Amino acid sequence: MELQNKNVFVTGSTRGIGLAIAKAFAQQGANIVLNGRKEISAELIAEIETFGVKCIGISGDISDFSSAKDMLEQAQEQLGEIQVLVNNAGMNNDKLLLRMKEEDFEDVLKVNLTGTFNMTQHILKKMMKQKAGVIINISSVSGLIGNVGQANYAASKAGVVGFTKTVAKEAAPRGITCNAIAPGFIATDMTDVLSDKIKAQINETIPLQHLGSPEDVAKTAVFLAQSPYITGQVISVDGGLVMQG
């Protein structure tokens, strides 16, 4: 898809990977909807507008079905039809399974998996009518190979993979693509909480020997949006951590 003047909704785009994705699309001339749970700052909107595109901020919780619908309707009212949805918003709450409370599991599933469902179902109705559209879901390598302390997170991200492939099959006849990106360890607030010792240990397990940047993930999102013959795929952006056959 040619991205100039297209409208791109990036969930969870006030910081980290989501913000980098928003900037990468803006760099290609796309108008941007920034989203997060809290109010989107005027500074952030102005920063995106420096790329010469329109940018609006719509705050709300993707894990709430009606709030997801409201946010997409507001975006369409202000910008017009949305051509690209990036389901990036996510959270983690790591602990060993034996210490994990029921709500620790459910809260993470509700944002990462149900939130992705909520946003996708609402936008898909529009995209089916438009007979065009791009959906990109941010999964994680944890969802592909599991990770100690992340039973809730890994289950949610594995769910995103199955969801992506199903949406890809259901939407393909209308020319809509749906793919997932599985980032490895990326330097953001989410990984900043790890100690230097843990980060050094992680680096030893990564063939490219360093954490990725949010921009590494963003480049892949733009690539997928520009690739009309790729659908139902999961692309790892992880320095070679998970090599799938």
According to CB under 6 A, which one of 132, 190, 206, 242 is a site residue for ligand NAI? Answer: 190
Does the annotation flag 205 for ligand binding?
A: no
Q: Return the range that interacts with ligand NAI (CB under 6 A); candidates 15-23, 124-132, 167-175, 225-233.
A: 15-23
- Does 140 contact ligand NAI by CB under 6 A? yes
- Does 14 contact ligand NAI by CB under 6 A? yes
Q: Check 9, 153, 163, 185 and give the catalytic one.
A: 153
Phi and psi at residue 36, in whole multiples of 5°?
-170, 175
To the nearest whole angstrom, how small is the minimum distance from the Cβ of residue 5 to ligand NAI? 25
Strand 31-36 with 176-183, pairing: unpaired
| Residues in 55-114 at the binding interface with ligand NAI, rule: CB under 6 A | 61-63, 88-91, 111
CA atoms within 13 A on the CB side of 171: 30
According to CB under 6 A, which one of 7, 152, 188, 220 is a site residue for ligand NAI? Answer: 188
Q: Is 229 a catalytic residue?
A: no
For ligand NAI, which is the closer residue by CB, 100 or 132? 100
Q: Where does residue 141 fall: left (phi above 0), alpha (psi -120 to 50 degrees), or beta otherwise?
A: alpha
Residues 223, 72: Cα–Cα separation, whole Å = 23
To the nearest whole angstrom, how small is the minimum distance from the Cβ of residue 115 to ligand NAI? 6
Burial class (CB in 10 A: 0-12, 13-18, 19+), 119: buried
- Does 138 contact ligand NAI by CB under 6 A? yes
Does the annotation flag 153 for ligand binding?
A: yes
For ligand NAI, which is the closer residue by CB, 90 or 159? 90
To the nearest whole angstrom, how small is the minimum distance from the Cβ of residue 160 to ligand NAI? 9
Interface contacts to ligand NAI, rule CB under 6 A: 11-12, 14-18, 35-37, 61-63, 88-91, 111, 115, 138, 140, 183, 185-186, 188-191
Give the annotated binding-site residues.
Answer: 12-15, 88, 153-157, 186
Give the residue numbers marked as catalytic. Answer: 153
Give the annotated binding-site residues for NADP(+).
Answer: 12-15, 88, 153-157, 186
